[in-house]
Amino acid sequence: MPAPKSERLLNLLIMLLVQRRPIAKERIRELLYPDSRPDAFEKMFERDKDELRSLGVPVDVAAVDPLFDDEVGYRIPPEAFALPDIELTPEEAAVVGLASRVWQHATMAQATSDAVRKLSAAGIDVDLDALDIAQPLLTAEEPAFETCWLAVCERMAIEFDYQRPGTDAPRTRHVQPWGVVRYAGRWYVVGHDRERDAERVFRLSRVQGDVRLVGPPGAYEVPPDTDVRAIARRMAPPTPTEHAVLLVREGAGHGFRRSAARVEVGVPGPDEVSRWDRVELLRPAMGLADEVLAHGSDVVLLEPEPVRRRVIERLEQVVA
């Protein structure tokens, strides 16, 4: 059975990105499209290659052997794929950082490992440094995330058993997912509830068992101008907030600064090289440790103490 489109594109991107030399089309078929007939492979590969190019990925065509030009291969030059130096305003940088954090998830890590393993097993020389172009920052540990994310990408309906607080047993829900979003430290799938014929938000940690794909890809369209984050803010249950205090290096932590209740500039910090600011804000404790760790050495959490201990424990695990 052919792999889903999103998985094929990701595998093809990784395969072509880590190549030191162009790889032949037939070799690509053997490794990534083994179950496809020759005619089906030609159409699928051309579509996938064109889609990568439409996304701005530079897929180069060159001779497999520089001494002979009778066989061409494909490769993505890392130096052409990487972004040039760009200047962002603090607000733009915060938005880019928030968007990039979704990509650290087991699905993406697994796809990367699978693609590299296939290449290495085939005796192909790979350049793993090329994968440093996209560094992941935040995890999604809910088992339901993977299938929901796939369903959103493929526009496939899903069904799952959902346990609401205060109920004795889960109920099966039938949903056309519009997006997967992180809000207040939790992951939600936002979409159209087919039984209620209305938009709904479901917390992924309350999904019981597996999420099941239903029907063919492209089965529905997301309504125009849909803002899944705004829907999550409006419909998700309120989350208790806590008083958080952070030391933030000057010029960093713009997301924390934007939602701060108070900022005291020029306070003593962990080092005497940089200028530090004390940032206080009210926000849910869930997810705070992830956000602090994502900022590296630019943010130090002082309060709340339980979250600070979790940050320290995770840093100690990394060092160990």
Instruction: Decide: 288 and 306 in contact? Cβ < 8 Å.
Output: no
SS3 assignment for 124-175: CCECHHHHHHCCCCCCCCCCCHHHHHHHHHHCCEEEEEECCCCCCCCEEEEE
- The more confidently predicted of residues 234 and 191 is 191
Return the CATH architecture of domain 145-235. Roll (2.30)
- Indicate the pLDDT class of residue 181, thresholds 50, 70 and 90: confident
Q: Rounded to whole angstroms, how far apart are CA atoms 272 and 98?
A: 29
Q: What is the pLDDT of residue 100?
A: 46
Q: Rounded to whole angstroms, how far apart are CA atoms 187 and 102?
A: 10
DSSP codes joined into one string, the chain: -PPPHHHHHHHHHHHHHSBSS-EEHHHHHHHH-TTS-HHHHHHHHHHHHHHHHHTT---EEEEEETTEEEEEEEE--HHHHSPPP----HHHHHHHHHHHGGG-SHHHHHHHHHHHHHHHHTT--B-GGGGGGS--------TTHHHHHHHHHHT-EEEEEE--TT-SS-EEEEEEEEEEEEETTEEEEEEEETTTTEEEEEEGGGEEEEEEEES-TT---PPTT--HHHHHHHHSPP---EEEEEEEETT--HHHHHT-SEEEEEE--S-SSS-EEEEEEEE-STTHHHHHHHTGGGEEEEESHHHHHHHHHHHHHHH-
Q: What is the pLDDT of residue 293?
A: 85
- Indicate the pLDDT class of residue 127, thresholds 50, 70 and 90: low
Q: What is the pLDDT of residues 9-36, one digit of tens each?
A: 878 888 888 777 888 888 888 888 888 8
Tell me: pLDDT of 193 over 60: yes
Q: Rounded to whole angstroms, how far apart are CA atoms 294 and 41?
A: 40
Rounded to 10 deg, the angle between the 25-32 and 38-54 helix axes is: 100
Q: What is the pLDDT of residues 29-48, one digit of tens each?
A: 888 888 888 888 888 888 88
Instruction: Decide: 6 and 18 in contact? Cβ < 8 Å.
Output: no
Domain ranges of the chain: 5-90+104-133, 145-235, 242-319
Residues 116-130 have a mean pLDDT of: 52
Tell me: pLDDT of 69 over 70: no
Q: What is the pLDDT of residue 54?
A: 74
Q: What is the pLDDT of residue 280?
A: 95
Q: What is the pLDDT of residue 254?
A: 84
Tell me: pLDDT of 137 over 50: no
Tell me: pLDDT of 98 over 50: no
Tell me: pLDDT of 231 over 80: yes
Q: What is the pLDDT of residues 266-303, one digit of tens each?
A: 999 988 888 999 999 988 777 788 888 888 889 999 99
Residues 105-109 have a mean pLDDT of: 50
- The more confidently predicted of residues 209 and 67 is 209
Whole-structure pTM value: 0.49
Q: How much of the chain exceeds pLDDT 70, in percent?
A: 77
Residues 138-154 have a mean pLDDT of: 80
- Indicate the pLDDT class of residue 200, thresholds 50, 70 and 90: very high
Residues 116-133 have a mean pLDDT of: 50
Residues in the chain: 320
Residues 146-162 have a mean pLDDT of: 91
Angle, CA 286 vertex, CA 282 and CA 288 arms, to 5°: 65
